[in-house]
């Protein structure tokens, strides 16, 4: 087989893997939006759908990892191509973790529907989740387009997620101090807020992989972070 044929075969295999990554990304975006919608609307059935849909996300990660391993074994990629493959695997791993956090949000929603509602916080949490989903959409576009500036913009936006989390943390404390009935639901809501903040961290990890993929170097500067409150 000629070198050109080998290159073409590698490119075809890599394109198929990239298609799985994009499909996985779309499923994760939907999981975030559906999980936040189920929380806002106290929709137990939609929350259950999110939990069940996580199996498809996990299955795609397994397929991507297996295909990447086969590509390395069969094609013996050189340094630059190997960097692409390793980045793909790391992106898929981050997507899987984001999907897990969306699933966890949905699981807590199935508990919260039976508790005293904390209306204002549910709306704030949905805004936070929608911002993370928007960051994820943009970082996946950056990944496909190899757009370093778009990836850096996503890194900067993570500070907004931290600030939203800090505001919610203080809000939950206020609710719990004012009325003991809110203690248990606010604890669940806090874990949802923390999971959403962690989603943002994994989105920024994907942004760092985009920068690494294009430049060959991880970002030198520290990731922008607002001061975070921990429970």
User: What pLDDT digit, counting tens, does each position of 39-90 carry?
Assistant: 999 999 999 999 999 999 999 999 999 999 999 998 788 888 888 899 999 9
Count CA atoms within 13 Å of residue 121 on its CB side.
Answer: 26
Measured CA to CA, the distance from residue 88 to residue 36 in angstroms comes to 27
Q: Does residue 225 fall inside a structural domain?
A: no
Whether residue 226 lies inside any domain: the answer is no
Over the chain, what is the mean pLDDT?
90
5 has a pLDDT exceeding 60: no
Examine residue 211 and state whether it is found in any structural domain, yes or no.
Answer: yes
Integer Cα distance of 132 and 202 in angstroms? 10
Length of the chain: 231
Q: What is the CATH number of the domain that holds 34?
A: 1.20.58.220
Question: For the residues of the chain, what is the DSSP string, one character each?
Answer: --HHHHHHHHHHHHHHHHHHHHHHHHHHHHHHHHHHHHHHHT-HHHHHHHHHHHHHHHHHHHHHHHHHHHHHHHH---HHHHHHHHHHHHHHHHHHHHHHHHHHHHHHHHHHTTS---HHHHHHHHHHHHHHHHHHHHHHHHHHHT-HHHHHHHHHHHHHHHHHHHHHHHHHHHHHHH-GGGHHHHHHHHHHHHHHHHHHHHHHHHHHHHHHHHHSS---SPPP-------
pLDDT at 225 > cutoff 80: no
Q: Which residue has the higher pLDDT, 57 or 224?
A: 57
Instruction: Tell me if 187 is assigned to some domain.
Output: yes
Owning domain of residue 207: 3-215
> How would residue 224 be classed by pLDDT, with cut points 50, 70 and 90?
low
Token reading at 102? 């969306």
- pTM comes to 0.89
CB–CB of 151/207 below 8 Å?
yes
Spatial neighbors of 122 by CB under 8 A, at least 6 apart, are 39, 40, 189
Predicted pLDDT at 1: 47
Q: Which residue has the tokens 């590509």?
A: 71
Query: Is residue 48 included in any domain, yes or no?
Result: yes
Answer yes or no: is 227 within a domain.
no
Question: What angle do the packed helices 183-215 and 119-145 form, to 10 degrees?
Answer: 10
- 18-40: average pLDDT: 95
Tally of structural domains, the chain: 1
Please give the angle made by the CA atoms of 103, 35 and 55, to the nearest 5 degrees: 35
Is residue 229 in a domain?
A: no
Distance from first CA to last CA of the chain, Å, rounded?
60
132-189 pLDDT, tens digit each: 999 999 999 999 999 999 999 999 999 999 999 999 999 999 999 998 888 999 999 9
């Amino acid at each position: 087989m000629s070198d050109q044929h080998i290159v073409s075969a590698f490119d075809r295999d890599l394109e198929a893997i990239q298609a799985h990554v994009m499909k996985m990304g779309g499923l994760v975006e939907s999981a975030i939006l559906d999980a936040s919608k189920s929380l806002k609307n106290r929709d137990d059935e939609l929350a259950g759908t999110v939990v069940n849909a996580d199996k498809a996300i996990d299955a795609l990660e397994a397929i991507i990892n297996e295909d990447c391993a086969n590509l390395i074994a069969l094609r013996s990629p050189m340094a630059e191509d190997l960097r692409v493959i390793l980045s793909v695997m790391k992106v898929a791993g981050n997507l899987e973790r984001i999907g897990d956090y969306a699933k966890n949000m949905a699981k807590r929603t199935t508990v919260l529907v039976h508790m005293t509602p904390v209306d204002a916080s549910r709306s704030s949490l949905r805004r936070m989740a929608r911002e993370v989903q928007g960051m994820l959409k943009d970082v996946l576009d950056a990944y496909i387009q190899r757009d370093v500036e778009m990836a850096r913009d996503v890194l900067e936006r993570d500070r907004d997620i931290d600030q939203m989390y800090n505001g919610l943390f203080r809000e939950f404390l206020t609710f719990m101090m004012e009325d003991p009935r809110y203690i248990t639901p606010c604890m669940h809501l806090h874990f949802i807020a923390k999971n959403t903040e962690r989603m943002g961290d994994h989105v920024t990890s994907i942004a760092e992989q985009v920068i690494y993929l294009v430049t060959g170097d991880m970002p030198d500067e520290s990731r922008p972070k607002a001061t975070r409150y921990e429970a």
